[in-house]
Structure formats: C-alpha cells, structure tokens
Amino acid sequence: MEIKQDVTVKTWDGTWTYHPKVLVTPESVEDLVEILTDEVRFPSPVRPAGSMHSTARMNGDDGGTMVDMKAMNRILHFTDDTVTVEAGVTYIVLAQALKERGLQPYVTTEIGNVTMGAMATAASKDSSFPGGFGQVSSYVTGVRLVTPNGTLRDITERDNPQEMQFIRSSYGLFGIVHEVTIRVRPTTALAVRHYSLSLDNFRNYFPIYRARGYAVMYYIFPYVKRVLVELRKDNPGVQPRSRYRWVYRNRFWRKYGPAITRWIQRNTHNRTLRVLADKLHFFLLRQALVWVVRSDRTWPHAQIINYPRSPGANKYLFSMWAFREGGFFEILEEYCNFCIAYEAKTGYRCDLPSVGYAIARDAEAVLSYSWEGATLSIDPASTGGPEWEEFLRVYNQFCSDRRGVPLFNQTPFLTRDQVRKAFGVRIQQFAARRKVADPKDRMLDSYFRELLS
C-alpha cells in the first residue's frame, strides 16, 4: 500500500481542505487490517474516502488518517440479479459493465464517480420508480468490512436484516467496507419527457404523474416560480437506442450551466441586467430540455454523469433537504418566497436552478430521509462561494423549521439541534449502535462527534 505523510487533500470542487497526518491507499483486506490495528502509524480518526464528492466535511480531522479506497476497484462476480464489487469501483464503471451484460442498476443517480463503498453506506439518491426506492444503499444486500478493531465481518440482508439497516447509513463509522453486493435488474428502455409548469400546475399534475407510474425529478426556478418536471418511465416494449438525449442534459449539469452562469456574472455588472440575463438563460434552458430531451427508448445507464476530479471554476454545488409529501407544495411556495426575500435583503441569489426528487417511503436505512413516508426534496444549487455558504446556513434553519430531513453527506453546515429534530429517536439509536461497534472511537471524527453527541 502507498503511504503519504502530512499531505493536503481537497474535495472534488475544492470547497473543503483536509490535512491528514497519513494518507494511505490500501490494495488488500490485509492492508485495511494493518491500518486499523496500528494506532501509532495510522492515528485516529481513521476515515475512508472515495471520490470526495460529499458536500459536507465528513472525511476526517486534521492529524488523522485518510484511507483512499480507489485502488480496491475490481468487479468480482455477477449473478442473474446481483453484482459484487470492491468498494473503490465507481458507479459509472459499474453501470458500463452491467450494460455489457444486459443489466442495469435499480437507481441511476447522476453522480457517476462516487464509489460503491460510499454508496453502500451513505445517502445517494434519485427519484423513485413505482415499487422501488430512491437510495442506492437500499439495494445493497451484503457487505464485507474490517471493523474498527481490525476484525473481518460479513454482513448480509438475509442473516442480519436489522444490522444492514444501520450499515446502509453508517458513513464509515462502523468499519471500512471493502466489498459490496448490490441488486441489479435487466436493462429496460427508458422513456423521458420534460414539462415546464407553474407551481400550481405542478401541484395539480403531480398525483397524475404518480398514478401513471412516472419517476418524478424536477428543476425549481424560484425567482420566477416555475418548475421544469423530468418524467421517466420504464418502456419494456422497445429496445433502448438513444443516449445523446441524456448527453445534452448531463453536459448542462456538469459544464455548460455553471459556465454560462459564471460568464453572466463576469460580464453583467449592472444588477438589473444580471437578473434579465439569468431569466433569459433559464428560459432557454427550460425550452431546450422540453424540446430536445425527450425519447421513448433511451439507455438508462446514460443518465449517469462522470464529473471531473477537478472541475475548475465550473462547479455544480448543491445541498438537500427532504419534506413529507403531504405538505410539500406549501413548502415549495414558501421556498420560492424565501429565495426572493433573501435576495432582497442580502443581494445574493442562487445562480443555478434548484433540483428536487420525489422519493418513495424507504425504511431500508435507519437514517433514511423517507423513513416515515414518501418525501419530495428541495436541493438548492450554485457555483459556490462564501455567500452561498451563508445562504445554506439560513436555508438549513428554514428547512428545520418545516420538519425537513437532511443528509449527513449532502447537507453541509448542519447543527446538532437540526439533526435531533429531523431524526428523533433514530439518531439516538444510531449513536448507541455506533458506540458498541467502535468503543474506542477509532473512526469518529469531529463532524460526527458533534452531530451524534
């Protein structure tokens, strides 16, 4: 294994900077055992890392040990309905390997460079199909891990269903996962449509979309109070052919949306012109998606985006809170008003469309954001900066006041009170189980120490 001392590591977008005492890249299970048992060479806290795409600062403390899992990246074996991989395999590589065998993941989340070890133990999401879940980890049927004291464990849904609920949202606190088994299914063509709607029309049409079996994702344009709805549905009667429809959409997320936004910021110094340019940009975006990204036979794998490790200035940053479906549309209206009022008070506006997902009830992970029932999310997005970070702190309180549920890895700047309010007794159960799994706090960093205390 490769060992580096006193290094500087940045997250993919440069938002967070880490200074671990040791950065180690294991290549085998034996390496992981050595890392976790040798507390002198590998000081606590020991925190696993994958693509470093989390928007929250959860990959360890300065002076600790960061374990880069990307070298353990073999696809091990397939069955008719599962695949087993090492934890460092990225989702986009797995999706391509599945495609070659006529298979696909159940959840085709956009962030393709996330590693399977992270997906198995954290909240990575997409809008839910009828009868399915929105979290990737909900389809994980088993993991192999090295515990904080260096013991090897094999945990499966069949033998340890309750323990798997904790593992699926364990965030690397119960040990380092090195092998993941996940359910897959035969490749099915995917129909996609986009519709530009007012908030009232979105409220009226949403039950119809659900009744007709669509997975519903949406872009929110709060300053004009409009929503662009993305509807997806399996279409088993045809063979998939199209992938370029998704290429156009993905290039906006990955590159063109942030690039155009930053161009507008650099070249429109008058505030009125900036607002008009933003409106024109987003109007053209909505029209392009409605007319271009529509097909009855797309490849589902093509939705997954391979984000660059260093995106430069063209960052796509986001945060997420989920809300119970019953009161969501009132909260969506309040969110738009919140953004408008925040701009009037501070001069700051989110420079990219917000995003959201309709997510089915999911009790497969103990810290699920839809544990109590179906939810819809509101995910502000931005190219970043100090004003964005201050906006998120105020937005977090807005969501907490409305009983929203965050994600530990995709909701930065959370407070302990917000976490307690969102998860209630579940966070206490999780903290107690974590203490049993790691009584010496070998893997507990300051981020989780504060939120779980």
**181-208 pLDDT, tens digit each:** 999 999 999 999 999 999 999 999 999 9
In a domain, 344, yes or no: yes
**Does residue 281 sit in the same domain as residue 178?**
no
Given this model, what pLDDT does residue 261 score?
Answer: 83
125 forms beta bridges with 135
Residues 253 and 396 in one domain: yes
Choose the final residue of a domain: 166, 187, 208. 187
pLDDT digits (tens, 9 = 90+) for 363-382: 999 999 999 999 999 999 99
CA–CA distance, 194 with 294 (Å, rounded to integer):
7
Q: Which one-letter amino acid corresponds to residue 81?
A: D
Which amino acid type is present at position 137?
S
Q: HSE of 185 in the Cβ direction (CA atoms, 13 Å)?
A: 11
> Tens digits of per-residue pLDDT, 406-419?
999 999 999 999 99
Give the mean pLDDT of 102-108.
Answer: 93
CB 50 within 8 A of CB 6: no
Last residue within a domain, chosen from 41, 68, 95: 68
Q: Looking at residues 129-145, what average pLDDT do you find?
A: 92
438 part of a folded domain: no
Give me the CATH number covering residue 353: 3.40.462
Question: What does the block give as tokens for 419?
Answer: 């976490």
> C-alpha angle 317/321/327, rounded to 5°?
140
Residues 211 and 245 in one domain: yes
In the chain, the amino acid numbered 23 is: L
The CA–CA distances, whole Å, from 387 to 93, 232, 273 equal: 35, 34, 20
**Mean per-residue pLDDT over the chain, rounded:** 92
Q: Span 297-317, mean pLDDT?
A: 79
Question: Quick check: 78 and 161 in contact, CB under 8 A?
Answer: no
187, 209, 232 - which closes a domain: 187
pLDDT of residue 312: 63
Is the residue at 441 inside a domain?
no
pLDDT band per the 50, 70, 90 thresholds, residue 311: low
Report if residue 272 sits inside a domain.
yes
* pLDDT (average), residues 281-302: 90
| Residue 362's pLDDT band (cuts 50, 70, 90) | very high
pLDDT value at residue 299: 92
pLDDT at residue 315 greater than cutoff 80: no
DSSP 111: B
**Is 298 a domain residue?**
yes
Radius of gyration of the chain (CA): 21
Q: Is the pLDDT of residue 266 over 90?
A: no
| 56 and 141 share one domain | no
Q: What is the mean pLDDT of residues 247-262?
A: 80
Q: Examine residue 432 and state whether it is found in any structural domain, yes or no.
A: no
Q: Can you tell me the distance from the alpha carbon of 311 to that of 314, in angstroms, rounded to the nearest whole number? A: 6
Q: Is the pLDDT of residue 3 over 90?
A: yes
Rounded to an integer, what distance in angstroms lies between the CA atom of residue 18 and that of residue 64? 10
Distance in angstroms (rounded) separating the CA atoms of residues 355 and 259:
18
One-letter identity of residue 389? E
**Which H helix or E strand runs over 85?**
strand 82-86
Is pLDDT above 90 for 22?
yes
Domain co-membership, 158 together with 237: no
Q: Answer yes or no: is pLDDT of 229 > 70.
A: yes
Residue 110 banded pLDDT, cuts 50, 70, 90: confident
Are 131 and 210 within 8 A, CB to CB? no
Are residue 225 and residue 319 in the same domain, yes or no? yes
pLDDT of residue 237: 86
List C-alpha distances in Å: 48 to 37, 177, 205, 308: 15, 9, 43, 20
What predicted TM-score, i.e. pTM, was given to this entire model?
0.93
* Residue at 371 is within a domain: yes
State mean pLDDT over 38-61. 92
**Cα 46 to Cα 337: distance, rounded to the nearest angstrom:** 43
Number of domains comprising the chain:
3
Give the Cβ contact number of residue 304 at 10 Å: 24
Structural domain range at position 85:
75-187
In this prediction, residue 270 has a pLDDT band, given cuts at 50, 70 and 90, of confident
Residues 260 and 406 in one domain: yes
Confidence of residue 113 (pLDDT cuts 50, 70, 90): confident
CATH code, domain with 18: 3.30.43.10
Please report which residue ranges of 293-327 form alpha helices under DSSP H.
none
What is the pLDDT, as a whole number, of residue 313? 66
- Between the alpha carbon of residue 239 and those of residues 48, 179, 194, 253, the distances in Å are 40, 33, 21, 27
48 in the same domain as 110: no
- What is the percent of the chain with per-residue pLDDT over 70, rounded to a whole number? 98
**pLDDT for res 95:** 94
pLDDT at 389: 93
How far is CA 130 from its chain centroid? 20
Position 307 scores a pLDDT of: 75
Report the amino acid identity of residue 142: G
Residue 47: the pLDDT is 97
Taking residues 112-118, report their average pLDDT. Answer: 90
The encoded tokens of residue 254 equal 């990955």
Same domain, residue pair 274 and 396: yes
In a domain, 358, yes or no: yes
Helix (H, G, I), strand (E, B) or coil at 53: coil
- Same domain for 251 and 273, yes or no, is yes
On the 0-12 / 13-18 / 19+ scale of CB atoms within 10 A, 303 is: buried
Q: Which residues neighbour 230 within 8 Å (Cβ) at sequence distance 6 or greater?
A: 192, 193, 194, 216, 217, 218, 219, 289, 293
Shared domain check, 376 and 251 = yes
Written as six digits, the tokens of 304 are 């997954």
Give the per-residue pLDDT at 127.
86
* Residues 173 and 220 reside in one and the same domain: no
- 20 pLDDT exceeds 70? yes
